[in-house]
Amino acid sequence: MTQTLYRSPLDYMATVSGKQIYPLNARPEEVDVQDMIHATSLLCRYGGHTKFFYSVAHHSLLVARYLKEKGASALVQFYGLWHDGTEAYFVDLPRPVKRHMKKYRTHENNLHPIIWEALGVRPPTKEEWALVKEADNAVLYYEAKFVQPKAVWWREEHVDLGYKIQEELPSVIRRQFEIAHSNLLRELEGV
């Protein structure tokens, strides 16, 4: 991809911090942690078809928690915390739609390495990413019991993780995410 592709004045989006990011051809300096935390804490999962407001950031916190409880390294927990970071710029598409959106997935896959660089970590290995995806799926099937109780798709895959999932204010989730991010960064710097 050339540096000018997807970088016209019509290709950028303004973020809450006032930055401009070109999501289809982003640069690490355009990615902002606080912008991503803010956006994902206000972005509802399942296309908004939930019993109560349940954000991408809330889900990501649970993925990181699951990984910690499974004994994953701080780095894998960090990947779990940020596994949906691209959604700060691309929004959360429900899986039945996303799986048919090849170009969307390609753009999302192109943005992930930019986000990892902006966050100061190397991209995950295939093995590390597989652990994150396993955690993502475990949390997905578990959380659905709380946020989509009338849906039936999750019932066979469901494993009780023992987490109580309830509606939280975006500001509360935003703060919890900031704390988790800071704690994991400190842990990574100590390694």
**Predicted TM-score (pTM) of this structure:** 0.93
Alpha-carbon distance values, 177 to 34, 56, 107, 152, 180 (Å): 10, 11, 25, 30, 5
What rounded mean pLDDT belongs to the chain?
A: 93
pLDDT one-digit tens code per residue, 54-107: 999 999 999 999 999 999 999 999 999 999 999 999 998 888 888 899 999 999
Per-residue pLDDT of 106-144, as tens digits, reads 999 999 999 999 999 999 999 999 999 999 999 998 998
Instruction: Considering only residues 181 and 1, tell me which one the structure prediction assigns the higher pLDDT.
Output: 181
- CATH fold for the domain made of 13-189: Hypothetical protein af1432 (1.10.3210)
Of 93, 107, 102, 96, the residue nearest 56 (C-alpha): 93
Residue (of 108, 168, 117, 115) closest to 143 by Cα position: 168
Model confidence at 1: pLDDT above 90:
no
pLDDT tens digits for 16-63? 999 999 999 999 999 999 999 999 999 999 999 999 999 999 999 999
19-28, 118-127, 149-158, 179-188: segment of lowest average pLDDT: 149-158
Beta-carbon contacts of residue 174 (< 8 Å; ≥ 6 apart): 37, 38, 41, 57
